[in-house]
Structure 1
Amino acid sequence: MLADLAELVRCESFSADHAAVARSAEVVGALGTRLLGAGPETIVIDGVTHLRWTFGTPRVLLIGHHDTVWPMGSIESHPWSVTDGIARGPGVLDMKAGLVQMFHALASLPSLDGVGVLVNGDEEVGSATSRQLIEESVRGCAAALVLEPSADDEGALKTARKGTSRYEVVVHGRAAHAGLEPQKGINAAVEAAHQVLSIAGLGAEMGAVDSTDSVLGSATVTPTLLSAGSAGNTVPALARVSVDVRVPTLVAQDRVDALIRGLTPRAPGARLEVLGGRRRPPMEPGSSAGLFALASRLTAELGEEPLRGIAVGGASDGNYTAAAGCPTLDGLGAVGSGAHADTEYVKTARMVPRARLLAQLIMRTQHRPDRDRRDSV
C-alpha cells in the first residue's frame, strides 16, 4: 500500500493543470487496473479527466478524487516520505491515501458485482465538470461511500456537511477625477464598504433564525475577497466583493440566496450586480445515520476502537450523493491531519484497518435492494 501511495503522491495533480490531472489519471487508472483486474472508463469533460469502473449493476458507489490543491513543483519542497509511521507529501491525506485504501479494499473482496467506482479530477475546485457524472453514477444505488480523509487525526467519520454557495457582488459606480471633481463620481469603493458590512450582518441574521439544535450549527455568510478602483487619482467606478456561504439545510441555503440577491445600494446612482449562487447542497445528518450505525457495528466486529461521527463545515462530493437521495457516509479515507497545509500527513498504521472496514461496508451494501434505501442499511 505504501509503494502504491508513493507512486500516486509523486505524480502531481494540481486541479488547475489539466495536463497534470490527465497524467495522474493514467497512474490511478493503472493502479486500479492492476488491483481490480479491469481498466476504467476514462471520461474527459472540458479538459478534466475522470475515471469510472462499473461492475454489474452498482448498488454501492465508491467516490474519490485524484486532483489536489498543491501547485506543480510542490513535490520538491514537500517530498514523499515515511518516518515513524507518518507519511507526508502533496495530497497524501486529501486524498491519495484514500484511493490506495479503496483499491486494496476492493481487491480483497470475493466479488465486485454490484460495485461502482468514480474517481474525479476536479473535486477540489467544486466538481463543476463531474457533478452530473456523480449524480448519474449514484442513481439507483443503496449507498455511497466517500473516501475523503477522516474528520480528525483520531479517525472520526464525517456524518454531516454544510452546503456551500459562492457569490460575487459587483458594485457599479461612476469614475471621476479624485482631485478636481470627486463629487461628480459615484464611489464604488465606498459603496462596497457598505455592502461588506451588510453581508457580514446576514450571518448574524441567519444565526438568529437557524435552529439551535442543528448539529451543523448556523449558516455562515463571510465576505472574503475585496477589490476596487483603477488608479490612485480616480474615483472608483467598479468594486467586487466575494462572499463565502456555508449552510446546514436547504432551507437556509434558499434563505441566504434570497438575502444576498435582495441587497440594495446605499449611494444614489450606484448599482449592484450579484453573480454566482448555490454550489453544493448540504449533506444533512439523516443521510448518514443508517450507514454510520452499520459502520459502528462492523468496527466492533473487527475489534477496533468505537467510531465517532462529526459534522463538518467543509463540503465534498458526498453532498451531491446525499442530495440525490442516496444514503452517504463520508470520511472513510485516510486518518491524519493538515489537509491542504504544509503539515499534511497520514498515519500509516491506520491504512489497513480502514481498508478492512471499507471492505466490510462494501460487502454489506453491494447487493442491497432498491427498497428502503435510507432505512435498510
Structure 2
Amino acid sequence: MISVQLPQLLADLEELVTCESPSADTAAVARSADLVARLGTERLGSAPEYVVVDGWTHLRWRLGDGPRRVLVLAHHDTVWPLGSLETHPFGIEDGVLRGPGCFDMKAGLVMALHALAAPPSASVTLLVTGDEELGSPSSRTLIESEAADCSAALVLEASADHGALKLARKGVSSYEVRITGRAAHAGLEPSRGINASVEAAHQVLAVSNLGDAELETTVTPSVLTSGTTRNTVPAAASFFVDGRAWTVDEQLRVDAAMQALRPVLPGSSVEVLGGLNRPPLERKMSEDLYRRAERVAAELGLEPLRSVAVGGASDGNFTAGMGTPTLDGLGAVGGGAHADDEHVLVTELAPRTALLAALITDLLDNP
C-alpha cells in the first residue's frame, strides 16, 4: 500500500475548496485551474497542458512512457456560486470535512493527484475538466478523444452511500419544447388568441406519459415558462424535459416520441430542441474493472467493496459510450452532494487513495 500523507492531502483539499469554482463562471474556473495546475505540478513533478475550449479551462497530464493505457478522470468545477464559503466555510470537525464542492468532487481530484505521485510504469492520462456540472459542453470531445486510446477509465466522482462504487449510470437526454400561439386581450377578445399555456399543458401531459416504470425510464417536464401579463392570452411558452434511461434503446424510443410531438390547438406550433446528451454507463462496461478492484482491495486488507447503479450521470457515461471499460465512484466517501450538508469522511481518504493507486498499478502491470 502506498503511504498516503493525509496532512498534505487535507492541506491540498483545503486550498481547492477555498478556491471557489462555479461552472458557469469561466474566470473562476480559470483561477481554480491555475491552482490545480500548481498543486498537480508539485505532486506529479510535471506541469499540465492547458486546454481552453469555449472559455472553459481544462488540464491534461500525460504521465509515463509508451501508449496511453489508463485515463483518470476528474473535474474541478462545482455547482456552488461565488460567496458560498461565507455560509458554508471549509472546516473539519469530528472527522467530517465540509465545504462547498468538497464531496463533488474536489476530494476525488486531490486523491487522484496523490495516488499518481509515484511515477507510473506505463502511460497514464489525468484529465481534469472545468464544466462537468453543466453537462460537459466544452469538454465532451476532449474526454472522448482521450478515452478512445485507453484500456480503462477511472472516474473520481464521489462514491454512493457507504462508499459504494458506481457500476451503472442512466443515460441522459435533454430537451426544450417551444410553443407558439397568438396573443390577444384576455378580457376583450380572448377567442382571437391561441393560448400557448393551454397548448403547453397538453404537451406536458403527453411528455410525462413517455416514461416506463417497469424499465425505470423517466421523462420529467421541469422548468415551465409562459405568458407576459395576467390579462394577455399567452403567445409563447416553453418547458424543459429531463430524460433518463438505462439503455440506448430506451433513449432512442423516448427521443423518437419527443420528436413526434404535434400541437393540439388549431393554429399553435410546437418545436422540440435537444436530444441525447450522455449515453448510459451500462454495467457490462464496469464489471471486469470492479472485480479487479475487489481483488486489489482484498490484497490491501481493506473492507469489501460495494457497488450500486445510479440515475445520475457523469463523464464516465462518455468514456463508456466510447467502448472504454469504466469504473466510477472511486472518489471520496461522504454525502450531501450539491446540498447544505455536503461532507467528506476524513478516515476514508487515505484508504480510498491507496486503493486508487494500487488499482492503477495493477492495470498497468497486468493489462
Which TM-score bucket, shorter chain as reference?
over 0.9
Q: Which runs of 5+ in 1 are unaligned?
A: 211-217, 370-377
Aligned to 2:272: 274
2:308 paired residue among 307, 310, 329: 310
* Alignment partner of 1:29 is 2:41: no
Q: 5 Å matches for 1:145-156?
A: 145-152=154-161, 154-156=162-164
CA contact (8 A) 1:70 1:340 kept: yes
| Correspondence 1:177 to 2:185 | yes
Contact 2:97–2:343 (Cα < 8 Å) also in 1: yes
CA distance in 2, matches of 1:248, 1:303: 34
> Would the aligned equivalents of 1:142 and 1:368 in 2 still touch at CA under 8 Å?
no
CA contact 2:44–2:119 (8 Å) conserved in 1: no
* Contact map agreement 2:285 2:324 (CA 8 A) in 1: yes
Deviation at 1:302, TM superposition (A): 1.1
Letter in structure 2 aligned against 1:3 = A
Letter in 1 for 2:269: R
The secondary structure found in structure 1 opposite 2:224 is strand
Question: What letter corresponds to residue 122 of structure 2 in structure 1?
Answer: D
Contact kept? 1:151, 1:158, Cα under 8 Å? yes
Counterpart of 1:126 in structure 2 is: 135
Q: What is aligned with 2:244?
A: 246
Tell me the CA shift for residue 367 of structure 1: 5.3
Q: Match for residue 85 of structure 2? A: 75
Moved over 4 A (4+): none
For residue 354 of structure 1, what is the aligned residue in structure 2? 352
Aligned-pair CA distance for 1:230: 1.3
Alpha-carbon distance, 1:28 to partner: 0.5
| Conservation of the 8 A alpha-carbon contact between 1:98 and 1:334 | yes
**What displacement does 1:269 show?**
1.1
| SS of 2:59 mapped into structure 1 | strand
**AA in 1 matched with 2:27:** A
Q: TM-score, normalised by structure 1?
A: 0.93
> Match for 2:172: what amino acid?
T
Aligned match of 1:61: 71
CA positional deviation for 1:110: 4.9
Contact residue 287 and residue 326 of structure 1 kept, 8 A: yes
Correspondence for 1:84 among 94, 109, 116: 94
Identify the match of residue 99 of structure 1 among 97, 109, 112.
109
RMSD: 1.0
Query: 2: distance between equivalents of 1:76 and 1:219?
Result: 39
Q: Secondary structure at the match of 1:226?
A: strand
> In structure 1, what is the Cα distance between the partners aligned to 2:267 and 2:92?
61
Residue of structure 1 in register with 2:197 after alignment:
189
Number of aligned residue pairs: give it: 357
2:213 corresponds, among 207, 232, 247, to 207
Q: Give, in whole Å, the separation in 2 of the partners of 1:259 and 1:196.
A: 13
The CA distance in 1 between the partners of 2:58 and 2:101, in whole Å, is 17
Q: Is the 8 A contact 2:115 2:354 kept in 1?
A: yes
Distance across 1 between alignment mates of 2:311 and 2:304: 23
